């Protein structure tokens, strides 16, 4: 499995993402993707609180497939916390969004070093612990990197 927490590897992949690149699918711009990944990292450390959109039983089934199985995120999958159109951009430009993403990756690593037992809500799978969030983030980043032909 890919490891987005390997900084040299991540830097190499992100260097291929250009501000005006067109996605192979979906409506999010490169800056939207960076901001979306940043928000997801913030959810995984409790900086952003969300609710679960599935029943606990449905979440358990999905967790088994996605976290403990071979399931990958497919093209066109929609987040239950996003609408049909990309949200308004929060950062002034692509570079700022990229820097914020990198800061949140570092925060994620340090947070779980200091809080190894912490668990935070995923909108479809319920409470996830550190190792489960790592698997999810790797699959989630991979999904969006493929969206832009980076992998």
pLDDT for 115 beyond 70? yes
pLDDT for 1 beyond 70? no
pLDDT-above-70 percentage for the chain = 99
Q: Tens digit of pLDDT for each residue in 86-101?
A: 899 999 999 999 999 9
Name the nearest CA neighbour of 104 among 44, 49, 148, 51.
Answer: 44
Q: Please give the full DSSP string across 98-150, using - where no structure is assigned.
A: HHHHHHHHHHHHHHHHH-TT-EEEETTTEEEEHHHHHHHHHHHHHHHHHHTT-
Query: How high is the pLDDT of residue 147?
Result: 95
pLDDT-above-90 percentage for the chain = 85
pTM of the model: 0.94
Q: Tens digit of pLDDT for each residue in 45-75?
A: 999 999 999 999 999 999 999 999 999 998 8
Name the nearest CA neighbour of 45 among 90, 97, 100, 107.
Answer: 107
pLDDT for 2 beyond 80? no
Region 129-146 average pLDDT = 96
Distance of CA 50 to the CA centre of its chain: 14
Residue predicted with more confidence, 117 or 7: 117
């Amino acid at each position: 499995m890919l490891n987005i927490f390997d900084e040299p590897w991540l830097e190499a992949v992100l260097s291929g993402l250009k501000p005006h690149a067109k996605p192979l699918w979906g409506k999010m711009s490169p800056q939207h993707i960076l901001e979306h990944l940043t928000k997801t990292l913030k959810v995984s450390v409790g900086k952003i609180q969300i609710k679960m959109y599935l029943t606990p039983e449905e979440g358990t089934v999905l967790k088994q497939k996605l976290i403990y199985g071979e399931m990958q995120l497919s093209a066109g999958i929609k987040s239950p916390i996003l609408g049909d159109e990309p949200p308004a951009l929060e950062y002034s430009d692509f570079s700022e969004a990229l820097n914020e993403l990198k800061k949140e990756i570092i925060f994620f690593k340090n947070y779980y070093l200091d809080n190894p037992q912490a668990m935070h809500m995923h909108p479809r799978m319920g409470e996830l612990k550190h190792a489960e969030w790592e698997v999810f983030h790797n699959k989630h980043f991979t999904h969006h990197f493929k969206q832009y032909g980076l992998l």
